[in-house]
Amino acid sequence: MIKPLKNFTGLVAPLDRPNVDTDQIIPKQFLKAVVRSGLAKGLFYDWRNQPDSQFVLNQPRFEKATILVARANFGCGSSREHAVWALADFGFKAVIAPSFADIFKNNCLKNGILTIILKPAETDAIFEAIKVHQDYRLAVDLPAQKVTDEFGWSAHFEIDPFPKRCLLEGLDDIALTLMQDEKIKAHESNHPVPYKF
């Protein structure tokens, strides 16, 4: 069950590494959770907890970030949805990157976190802007599919209409599917279970 995603403006935190895998986003010891909540403490655990860690989320200026900007292939590796729950528990509402791994992207959309795909030059511009401006923020407009800053810069992003609608309306996947129950039953009656018990 997800809440409808409304337009919002958020502080942006930069994660300047490509191929960030979900083992880094949430290490295995946090997969022992049996609920979806309370995983913020595991977010980027190893990077945050190295001695003298300069990791972005340890810096006070990024503590209240709600948007993460990253590099290519963000969220690759393990399918663990715990990675998304940890990001959400920390407070992130959107991740911006030139590309996302498939399973991670799907998991985000199922949990009301918006995956914003921008061109590499556009994500470069955001990384640069964060270096220059202390509290760099972006306004996310999902209906218009746009991100805008307060200095006149904006970028358009693509998103498939179905996940967009689900995010905007907070639609429950399972209820949507069960509207097709007759078709599911028809398929099942034509396809017997191929096992001998």
Partner 1 sequence: MAAQTLFEKIWNSHVVHEAPGEPALLYIDLHLIHEVTSPQAFEGLALDGRKVRRPERTFATLDHNVPTTDRSLPITDPDSKLQIDMMRKNCRDFGVRLFDLGEVEQGIVHVIGPELGLSQPGMTIVCGDSHTATHGAMGALAFGIGTSEVEHVLATQCLWQARPKTMEIRVDGKLGLGVTAKDIILGIIGRITTDGGTGYVIEYRGSAIEALSMEERMTVCNMSIEGGARAGMIAADRKTVDYLRGRRYLPSGAQFDRLAAQWLTYRTDEGAKFDRSIAFDAAAIAPQVTWGTNPGMVTEVTSKVPDPSSYADATSRRAVELALEYMGLAPGTPITDVKVDRVFIGSCTNARVSDLQAAAAIVKGRRVAATVHAMVVPGSQLVKNEAEKLGLDRVFKEAGFEWREAGCSMCLGMNPDILKPGERCASTSNRNFEGRQGKGGRTHLVSPIMAAAAAVAGHFVDVRDWASR
Q: By C-beta, is 59 or 180 nearer to partner 1?
A: 180
- Work out the burial of residue 197: count CB atoms within 10 Å of its CB; fewer than 13 is exposed, 13-18 middle, 19 or more buried: exposed
Alpha-carbon dihedral 60, 142, 117, 108, rounded to 10 degrees: 70
With binding defined as CB under 8 A, does residue 71 bind partner 1?
yes
73 binds partner 1, rule: CB under 8 A: yes
Distances (CA, A) of 147 to 43, 69, 156, 190: 25, 12, 7, 48
Residue 10 near residue 66 (C-beta atoms within 8 A) = yes
The token pair at 10 is: 């958020």
CB of 5 to partner 1, least distance (A): 16
Contact between 54 and partner 1 per CB under 8 A: no
Crossing angle for the helix pair 82-90 and 102-110, to the nearest 10 degrees: 50
Residue 29 vs 134, nearer CB to partner 1 = 29
Considering only 40, 53, 55, 72, the residue that binds partner 1 (CB under 8 A) is: 72
**How, if at all, do strands 146-148 and 154-156 pair?**
antiparallel
- Determine the size of the site formed for partner 1 (CB under 8 A): 53
From residue 132 to residue 171, what is the string marking binding to partner 1 with x (rule CB under 8 A)?
----------------------------xxx---------
Among 10, 68, 78, 138, binds partner 1 (CB under 8 A): 78
Q: List residues near partner 1 by CB under 8 A.
A: 17-19, 21, 23-24, 27-29, 31-36, 46, 71-73, 76-82, 84, 99, 101-103, 106-107, 110-111, 160-162, 173-174, 177-178, 180, 183-184, 187-188, 191, 193-197
